[in-house]
Structure 1
Amino acid sequence: MADHPAALGHPGARARGLHGHGGGRHQLERAEVPPRSGGFLRPASRLDGHAGGPACDEALAGGARRDPRDARPAPRRDRARPGRQGHEERGRLRRAAPASRLVGHPRHPPGRDFAPLAHPARAARRAAQAEAPAHGVLAPPPQAGVRSAGPAQWLVRGAPVKSLGRLRTALGERSDYDAVAQCSRCGYCEQACPTYKATGREAQSARGRNQIVRQFLEGKFEDPSSAEEALSTCLLCGACTTACPARVPTPDLVLEARREILGQPEWARRLLRHLLVVRPDLLAKAVRAGFALKRMGLAGLAAKTGLLRLLGLRALAEADAHVKETPERTLAEALREDASLRAGPDAAWSYFAACGTNFVFPRVGLASLRILHRVHGRGAFLDNPCCGLLAFNYGDLETARELARLNIQRWEDRRSDAPVFADCSSCAAFLKSYPQLFLRDPAWRERAEAFAARVKDIVEVEAPVRPGVLPGLVTLHDSCRARHGQGLFKEPRAAVKAAAAAFAEMECSDDCCGGAGLFAFKHPELSEELLRRKIGHAKAAGARTVCASGTSCLIQLARGLEKYYPEGRVVHWSEAVCEALDGSDG
């Protein structure tokens, strides 16, 4: 093509049969246009498919230098109109040459790139990428001094963070790119996405976030940090996946992008690992000390200890200011002293103490244990560490895996296939997702699948209750990870409806309340709008009691009811059902 053979000898000639990546058939039309300064003839291209392949690279490199006196007029249908020729050419070329590169994707084999425009900086970057080893599902970072155009070099605050790379989806195991490519941009998710309904911004919808993640994977962002707001404002509630016909796992994809782009500094991850894995007793002591200072009216001094801010978890430090309850002992400390909860061959179940229940709401854990004793008989306390969700969401996959291994090992040591009950829906959903952490480790994947199959959310317990025990009108807030993370809708309602004197569904019961772990303290304005809407729905239903099954939901809804609807109260599902069990005792 360097000498531009006969294909350009005739003004109406067409070069057909050009094949790009994936073997698709592309057609390139060339038409000579009125000469510009210097007598150069530039090609006007029209592609029936995507641009790509060596032939298209060569064809787009530019036209031949010809004598303008030899140029014959092109057919009128192909002739560019004077005054618009430059704009149309640039538009065609820009559309024809998306600058992106994927490695390891079945549709885009290594070594076959999307056709780029001939540009020295891009050529240098592509050459550097070709020489470097592949990194996960993304192209490798370029050589020093070569500017990156996208996820070939993720902008991470601290050391690079490795993503999962593959996800378990409703359509089977998929790579990150295959998972996000399932999005057809139909828009069904927008009517389910709480942040889109609150802001009306496309970038804060599930569809918008999917396209952002896809463009990262295709290398189309000059500055990945420019999408930080869109990614960080995702609630990870999963309402979009429930509404999506293809069940695109948007929350998992957003987490993958967060781990690559945002992350936490390496020293903060190491300190978090030390407190969650190596010395969890230090974390318990720090929490008890902070609560003791708050009980003495020294909340300011408690804040000045700065432990959470030292960890880089500023949002968690803000959350501490909203926690009203300050228990003197953790739930785990109390349960270790209960001889009836020690492991034995006759234990019919195991109890998993979530961090929120353990540190902030021990009363919820005691109510859950009472229900389990009543329904299933004798059980045992698993005496577990954190489930790993905090580390997972903050980008520390290795700490999350280490905690998962510890919990699986604790369950296996009981030498029983007894179910494991958790009374925080977020933790229960994450425990059920353990196999995704070990997709590349067959031995641990098998063990994780056996464990996950035995995990139960406390709301799945079919508890016998006496009708009409709960006073007033009761409604239920569907915790996101119960409704969308585990697909539980009828289960939490069964016992609550039976126990309530009156029950009413509130509008948008499965919309996120704005708590979402630490979301309320990282994005207070958006969280407040979601909370105001949620409390408005509860008030419109006339409810005096709101039931929830997530510990962050309890903190958020308690604050919202106090501010917007003081006549209402929020209780955990276990507390509501336990009240009915107490009534059944006579």
Structure 2
Amino acid sequence: MSVAKGGTAALRETLQAKLDYEQLTNCMRCGFCLPACPTFKETGVEAESPRGRISLMKAAVDGLMEPNVMFEEQMNHCLGCRACEPACPADVKYGQLIEQAREAVELHTTQHRWWVKGVRKAVFKQLFPHQHRMRLLGAAMNVYKKSGVQTLIRKTNAVGMFSSQLASMERILPDASGKGIVEIMGTRVAAKGEKHGTVGMFRGCLMDVMFTETNRKTVELLSEAGFDVVIPEAQNCCGALHAHSGEKEQAKELAKHNIRAFQEAGVDFIVSNAGGCGAILVEYDHLLHEEPEWHDQAIWFAKRVKDISTILAEKGRPLQYAALPQDQGTARVTYQDSCHLRNVMKGGQAPRQLLQQAAGGAYVEMKDAGSCCGSAGIYNMTQPEMSNQILEHKMENVNAAGVRYVVTSNPGCHLQMKLGIEKHGCSGQMEALHIADFLYDRLVR
């Protein structure tokens, strides 16, 4: 694709309007972000670093360079993992800058390939915002898997003829469902034992149909910890993929809908079990900061958002977990961080605390566990070469740890680690699990 609509001059004007110039000038060019950035570590190219991309943004705004195709490619090559933010001594809000730049680029991009246009429209406008359509997708995926069509597709390599990356992802698809968590458990699940509070469960869109069992186990864990769990039926997609892909206005509308749904539910906390969702939910106040009429509601929402690990580690009744079975006594467990849970929600310690409780001495800290796995929303589909390169280095660390279980806190990370395990031929010896699944399966009731 290329920047075309109105030309580079028009794009510069939009960048000038969208980008927070104060944040651009806050960057001291110190380079502390360089070793934290996955794309810079892979390439060693300055433009592939946060510092380099900020320099490109500022140069484009200041009229020192044309915001051309190369500019657009660098904005899109960023994973958005935001590992640079904790490393930055000036507290530059890089995540906000990259989203502002992508929004500007998207407004001026008219030459998406035809299939990209179709996919973007289907995903961002026709599918993710509508929960009932997501359930239809889940039902269709279930039929695809059980009807024999999947077997035929794999035998003929029909998907591989279009994209080898898509074929690889197809092989690790989870069991989807046409029923979401509300259809299975209702909109309220009572606390077991003494009540410690009321939480709202953010069910997500992909989580609700592709990881329905993980959502169910999340609700069960919360109930066991002493929480009444409310699952507002009116909630919708969090808007993360929209915001990361330049569809910011639609992300705002989705945010407003969710704020209304959870305010009406009257909850103490809003619990997410997907790091990518949680990171935008906790920043709804920034997403809507230009709309003063939403100021108080957005702050109310954002300050209540917690990851499932944080809630279980810090609130409610402590849970007891059984030791790993004797025949797996030598099996070890490690944790792959969700970038957004670690870097945005500052929730890197709680999952480790829970895993140490549940796995005991079997827990092992993997080298560079906090570095990105290469999933990054839909990055592994839009930038497969870089994604696979990052995944390959991640699998080197996983294999070196010698573990039986790789535990994650985000559906994208979960699928990416499954992909790595599949590519390395380790499916029989290693398993990727969401932390809610791992904890629930070892829960002592």
Distance 1:391 1:556 in 2: 20
Secondary structure of the residue aligned to 1:188 is coil
Equivalent of residue 366 in structure 2, options 506, 525, 530: 506
Mapped contact 1:150–1:221 kept (Cα < 8 A): no
Q: Deviations over 1:425-469 (max 9, x none)?
A: 110111001011221212202101001111111110224233633
Q: 1:87-126 to 2 correspondence within 5 Å?
A: none
Residue of structure 2 equivalent to 1:250:
94
Summarize the alignment of residues 23-62 of structure 1 with structure 2, pairs less than 5 Å apart. none
Structure-1-length-normalised TM-score: 0.64
- The letter for the 2-side match of 1:526 is M
Report the CA distance between 1:511 and its aligned residue: 0.4
The letter for the 2-side match of 1:531 is: L
- Whole-angstrom CA distance in 1 between matches of 2:16 and 2:320: 45
* Residue 151 of structure 1, CA deviation: 4.1
Q: For residues 297-340 of structure 1, give each alpha carbon's deviation from its aligned partner in whole angstroms, at most 9, with x where no partner exists.
A: 3249999xxxxxxxxxx999778635422323332353464664
Greater mean deviation of Cα atoms: 286-295 or 523-532: 286-295
What corresponds to 1:573 in structure 2?
A: 435
Match of 1:491? 350
Aligned to 2:298: 448
Corresponding letter in the other structure for 1:203: A
Q: Can you give the 5+ residue segments of structure 2 that lack an aligned partner in the other structure?
A: 1-5, 155-162
Is 1:177 paired with 2:177? no
Structure 2 residue 49 is the aligned partner of structure 1 residue 189? no
Separation (CA, whole Å) in 1 of partners of 2:63 and 2:140: 48
Q: Secondary structure at the match of 1:483?
A: helix
Secondary structure of 2:246's match?
coil
What does residue range 226-237 of structure 1 map to in structure 2 within 5 Å? Answer: 226-237=70-81
The corresponding residue for 2:55 is 211
Cα–Cα, structure 1 residues 315 and 337, in superposed 2: closer, same or farther, change >3 Å? farther
Q: 1:446 to 1:270 in 2, by over 3 A?
A: farther
Residue of structure 1 aligned with 2:69, choices 215, 219, 225: 225
Structure 2 length-normalised TM: 0.83
Match of 1:403 in 2: 254
Aligned to 1:241: 85
2:133 corresponds to? 282
Paired residue secondary structure (1:349):
strand
In structure 2, the partner of 1:437 is 287
Amino acid at match of 2:41: K
C-alpha change, 1:468 and 1:282, in structure 2 (3 Å) is: closer
- Aligned-pair distance for 1:484? 0.4
Distance 1:315 1:488 in 2: 34
Aligned residues: 408
Q: Look up the match of 2:180.
A: 331
| Residues 289 and 467 of structure 1, relative CA distance in 2, 3 Å threshold | closer
Secondary structure at the counterpart of residue 332 of structure 2 = strand
> Structure 1 unaligned runs (5+)?
1-143, 155-161, 166-174, 304-313
Q: Which residue of 2 aligns with 1:544?
A: 404
- The separation in 1 between residues aligned to 2:131 and 2:165, in whole angstroms, is 17
Deviations 1:281-304 (A, max 9, x none): 23432342244123323249999x
Contact 1:163 1:256 in 2 (8 A): no
Sequence identity, in percent? 27
Following superposition, the deviation at residue 257 of structure 1 comes to 1.1
2:136 & 2:237 partners in 1: Cα distance? Answer: 15
Alpha-carbon RMSD across the aligned residues, in angstroms, is 3.0
The structure with higher relative contact order (CA 8 Å, sep 6+) is 2
Give, in angstroms, the shift of residue 554 of structure 1: 0.6
Shift of the alpha carbon at 1:508? 0.6
Q: Write 1 or 2 for the structure with the bigger share of helix.
A: 2
Secondary structure at 1:325 match in 2:
coil
* Aligned mates of 2:16, 2:433 — CA distance in 1: 37
2: CA distance between counterparts of 1:148 and 1:513?
A: 34
1:432 corresponds to which letter in structure 2? V
Structure 1 equivalent of residue 379 of structure 2: 519
Deviation at 1:517, TM superposition (A): 0.9
Out of 148, 154, 159, which is 1:297 matched to?
148
**1:5-46 CA deviation, whole Å, 9 max, x = no partner?**
xxxxxxxxxxxxxxxxxxxxxxxxxxxxxxxxxxxxxxxxxx
Cα deviation code 1:443-498 (max 9, x no counterpart): 20210100111111111022423363375211111110111011112211111011
Is contact 1:391-1:397 (8 Å) kept? yes
- Residues 150, 219 of structure 1: 8 Å contact kept: no
Structure 2 distance, partners of 1:287, 1:316, is: 21
